[in-house]
Amino acid sequence: MFKDQNILVTGGSGMIGRQLVNLLLEKGAKVYVADLNDPINMPSNIIFKKVDLRDFNSCKSICEGMDYVFSLVGIKASPKVTIEQPFDIMGPMLQFNTNIIEAALTTPSVKWFLYTSTVGVYTPAEILYEDDVWNGFPSQNDWCGGWAKRMGELQCEAYEKQYGIGKCSIIRPANVYGPYDNFDPKNAMVVPSLIRKATENDIIEVWGDGSSIRDFVHAKDVARGMLFAVENKITKPLNIGSGTGVSIKELAEIVAEYFDKPIKWLIDKPSGDAKRIFSMKRAYSYGFNNEISLKDGVTDAIKWFIANKDIVNKRFNILNK
């Protein structure tokens, strides 16, 4: 399906994007990556375009001649940044959504478009089902980012309703981790934050008491889910997670065991929603399955960070330790 096809991946230098690019190259695609960030160790056989996706004309230009467009662009932020700097997340995301969705879906050569949403679109619940999104509002912990991604999903639906053409897949990843994650110490999510702390400190400090339960999924499994959705022309929103709840305590213990270091719980710090697990019933009904276990996936992310720590630190202007 993808062999010899021109495929654009926006946000392709990021964590999921790198996995998707590699899978597309394995399938013989001609891959174009559009991103504002300079890539780390990007394969030489891709075509990289440094593009500000807040500009519509730039989005229109990079979509010309593409057969498929995968929109992975987003702003990944820690709970602290999400709460304290909501406009820095919502403003650009609304611009990304509007520009790339319109550009891709109105370009005649584009056969299919994939939009990457987020777990943040969901109303807080222990089990998150795709059809329950509009039963309530996003969590206050994901408020602005969740609404921005909801608007992107609605834009895809609006196109289909107006033109009667279903050529858009919507993927909602769970808590994603893996190589090329955001290891910025000021803005990292839980997995990269734990890994960085473990490499730099004798004791691993973790916010909360470890009881919060999350659904973690390796970036390669998310990329596989993206290809699966497009290959099968799935137009219903699709959760891509593990379907299994893991406590922050269990996750921290995997990291601590690898480095043989103790954990200190900062119980006076916030820990977010108590429990969020994806229902994978819809994805499984289509025939999709995950391949990477949490322990193997976290070990993969640890080894990547250790091997690339100097490059990562240079990106964030961090003095090497």
Task: Tell me how far the alpha carbon of residue 76 is from its chain's centroid.
Answer: 8
Q: State pTM to two decimals.
A: 0.91
Q: What is the DSSP string of 7-66?
A: EEEETTTSHHHHHHHHHHHHTT-EEEEEESSPPSS--TTSEEEE--TTSHHHHHHHHTT-
Q: What is the DSSP string of 242-259?
A: -S--EEHHHHHHHHHHHH
Largest CA distance in the chain: 59
Task: Tell me how far the alpha carbon of residue 121 is from its chain's centroid.
Answer: 13
Q: Which helix (H) or strand (E) holds 191?
A: helix 190-200
Query: Going from the N-terminus, what domains does the chain have, and what CATH number goes with each?
Result: 6-180+216-243+276-293 (3.40.50.720)
Q: What pLDDT was estimated at residue 316?
A: 65
The beta-strand segments (E) located in 162-253 are 168-173, 175-177, 204-207, 213-214, 216-218, 238-240, 246-247
Q: How far apart are the C-alpha atoms of 11 and 35, rounded to whole Å?
A: 5
The CA-atom distances, in angstroms, between 250 and each of 165, 222, 246 are 45, 22, 6
Q: Is pLDDT of 303 > 60?
A: yes
Q: Which residues contact 12 (CB under 8 A, 6 or more apart)?
A: 18, 20, 21, 31, 33, 34, 35, 39, 46, 70, 72
Q: How far apart are the C-alpha atoms of 156 and 153, rounded to whole Å?
A: 5
Q: For 200-247, write each residue's pLDDT tens digit.
A: 999 999 988 899 999 999 999 999 999 999 999 999 999 999 999 999
Vertex 103 angle, CA 98 and 105, to 5°? 100
Neighbours of 303 (CB within 10 A): 13
Among candidate residues 240, 215, 216, the one with its CA nearest the CA of residue 226: 240
Q: Is pLDDT of 319 > 50?
A: no
Q: State the average pLDDT for the chain.
A: 91
Q: How far apart are the C-alpha atoms of 16 and 118, rounded to whole Å?
A: 13
Q: For 268-302, write each residue's pLDDT tens digit.
A: 876 677 888 999 999 999 999 999 999 999 999 99
Neighbours of 202 (CB within 10 A): 8
Q: For 244-276, write each residue's pLDDT tens digit.
A: 999 999 999 999 999 999 999 988 876 677 888
For 3, the token pair is 């062999």
Predicted confidence band at 65 (pLDDT cuts at 50, 70, 90)? very high
Q: Which residues contact 308 (CB under 8 A, 6 or more apart)?
A: 40, 41, 179
